Amino acid sequence: MTKRTIVLMALAEVPVDRGRQCKVEGLDLALFRIGDAAYAIADSCPHQGASLANGKLQGALVSCPAHGLKFDVRTGCSSVSAELRTGNYPVRVIDGQIVLDIEEPQPQGVKEC
């Protein structure tokens, strides 16, 4: 697999108490900021599909704006059940920019050395 790095946005563009929606490579992401760190989860509550970027962030937990279910933005796990979770994506901050590493499969017939 090859890895590609995509710049999503500046960390300063993400509010401290809420998320920020970001669409990239067919993914709908909710970006969150805790101090100088960034986190990305799928921007859809698995229960009713509400945008988690519009939820209130308290500590590392974002509340779904539709019904209040809470998810840890670091892991995507809900606070009530290990089976109820949303996708999470590894992002990092480089020079004030939030970046996402996407792994792309090798074309068929090509092997990594």
Interval 21-68: pLDDT, tens? 999 989 999 999 999 999 999 999 998 899 999 999 999 999 999 999
| Residues 74-102 pLDDT 10s | 999 998 887 889 999 999 999 999 999 88
pTM of the model: 0.87
pLDDT category of residue 108 using cuts at 50, 70 and 90: low
Which domains does the chain possess? Answer: 2-104 (2.102.10.10)
- Nearest alpha-carbon partner for 85 in 46, 55, 54, 56: 46
Report how far residue 6's alpha carbon sits from residue 25's, in angstroms, rounded to the nearest whole number: 9
Residues 64 and 44 sit within 8 Å (Cβ to Cβ):
no
Predicted local distance difference test score (pLDDT) of residue 106: 57
pLDDT of residue 17: 84
Distance CA 106, CA 42 (A): 25
